[in-house]
């Protein structure tokens, strides 16, 4: 799902995407509906605000912990820059709120001229990592 989606975005923009996933991970629908918009918002931010030319999306799991990183090579920012932005820039706040809805954590690492790395992590029961049925969808493919 993420690979197909990033291919479409590559065709529509100047961004070069790469994706890397360790194993397929099957997520409950309620998590998919939060995770995909978080990834999309990170890419939108890279396109609109960072002047990035490359975005790398990685996903893996360590036992029950799932991690997804979205990294760009854009101009980066400092926390102070975020706090002084105009009203209407709510993307990062919304991403954090979406992650919190399913117990996830969003970490943002950025520095001027150093790009940005957004890490989404959350616990998922081990049985769910490979569960395949109508209630679960995979968004991460190796």
Largest CA distance in the chain: 46
- What is the pTM (predicted TM-score) of this model? 0.82
- Assess contact for 59 and 22: CB atoms under 8 A: yes
Among 72, 73, 69, 71, which Cα is nearest to 21's?
69
Where the chain has pLDDT below 70, the residues are 1-13, 82-89, 125-142
- Report the pLDDT value the prediction gives residue 135, as an integer from 0 to 100: 47
- What are the two backbone dihedrals, phi and then psi, of residue 9, each rounded to the nearest 5 degrees? -70, -35
- Report the pLDDT value the prediction gives residue 24, as an integer from 0 to 100: 74
Reduce the secondary structure of the chain to three states and give it as a string. CHHHHHHHHHHHCCCEEEEEECCCEEEEHHHHHHHHHHHHHHHHHHHHHCCCCEEEEEEEEECCEEEEEEEECCCCCCHHHHHCCCCCCCHHHHHHHHHHHCCCEEEEEECCCCCEEEEEEEECCHHHHHCCCCCEEEEECC
- Report the pLDDT value the prediction gives residue 134, as an integer from 0 to 100: 47
- What are the two backbone dihedrals, phi and then psi, of residue 121, each rounded to the nearest 5 degrees? -140, 150
Strand partners, 19: 57
- Report the pLDDT value the prediction gives residue 130, as an integer from 0 to 100: 53
- Report the pLDDT value the prediction gives residue 116, as an integer from 0 to 100: 95
- Report the pLDDT value the prediction gives residue 110, as an integer from 0 to 100: 93
- Report the pLDDT value the prediction gives residue 38, as an integer from 0 to 100: 95
- Report the pLDDT value the prediction gives residue 117, as an integer from 0 to 100: 96
- Report the pLDDT value the prediction gives residue 142, as an integer from 0 to 100: 47
């Amino acid at each position: 799902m993420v690979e197909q989606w990033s291919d479409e975005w590559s065709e529509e923009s100047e961004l070069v995407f790469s994706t890397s996933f360790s194993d397929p991970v099957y997520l409950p629908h309620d998590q998919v509906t939060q995770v995909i918009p978080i990834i999309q918002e990170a890419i939108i931010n890279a396109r609109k605000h960072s002047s990035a030319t490359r975005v790398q999306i990685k996903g893996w799991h360590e036992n029950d912990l799932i991690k997804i990183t979205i990294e760009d090579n854009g101009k980066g920012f400092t926390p102070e820059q975020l706090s002084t932005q105009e009203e209407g820039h709510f993307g990062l706040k919304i991403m954090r709120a979406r992650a919190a809805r399913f117990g996830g954590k969003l970490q943002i690492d950025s520095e001027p001229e150093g790009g940005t790395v957004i890490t989404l992590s959350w616990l998922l029961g081990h049985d769910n990592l490979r569960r395949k049925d109508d209630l679960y969808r995979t968004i991460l493919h190796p």
